[in-house]
């Protein structure tokens, strides 16, 4: 079982609060740190862009998966490590209501 499957890697903010850090230990800034913000991985866009049909949902994600794995490997090699990584924007290239195994994996329940 991967760390992600075990549930100890990914944290989700609720009520404008992220419980990944202890309030007592993390309340005040105690030295230098950095974090990484990733944006718009949009899995499926590269095929849609290459075919000239960006209005359709991308059904092939291989290029994006490869690039994401390369980015994660590069981040994991950093020293010192970033304090955290936040991913913003469109995770997949699909309109709301798209269904199927790949899209269902990214469906988030409402908080």
Residue 83 CA to residue 87 CA, distance in Å, equals: 14
pTM recorded for the entire structure: 0.65
How much is the pLDDT for 1? 44
Q: Which of 105, 93, 106 is nearest to 48 (CA)?
A: 93
Tens digits of residue pLDDT in 25-80: 877 878 888 999 999 888 888 888 888 877 766 678 889 989 999 999 999 999 99
Residue 59 CA to residue 71 CA, distance in Å, equals: 22
**Which one is predicted more confidently, 81 or 100?**
81
């Amino acid at each position: 079982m991967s760390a992600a499957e075990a549930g100890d890697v990914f944290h989700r903010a609720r009520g404008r609060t992220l419980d990944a850090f202890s309030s007592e230990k993390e309340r005040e800034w105690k030295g230098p740190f950095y974090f990484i913000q990733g944006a718009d991985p949009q899995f499926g866009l590269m095929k849609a862009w290459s075919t000239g049909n960006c209005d359709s949902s991308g059904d092939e994600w291989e290029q994006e998966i490869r690039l994401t794995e390369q980015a994660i490997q590069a981040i994991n090699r950093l020293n010192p490590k970033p304090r955290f990584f936040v991913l913003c924007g469109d995770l997949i290239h699909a309109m709301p209501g798209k269904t199927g195994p790949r899209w269902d994996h990214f469906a988030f329940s409402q908080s």
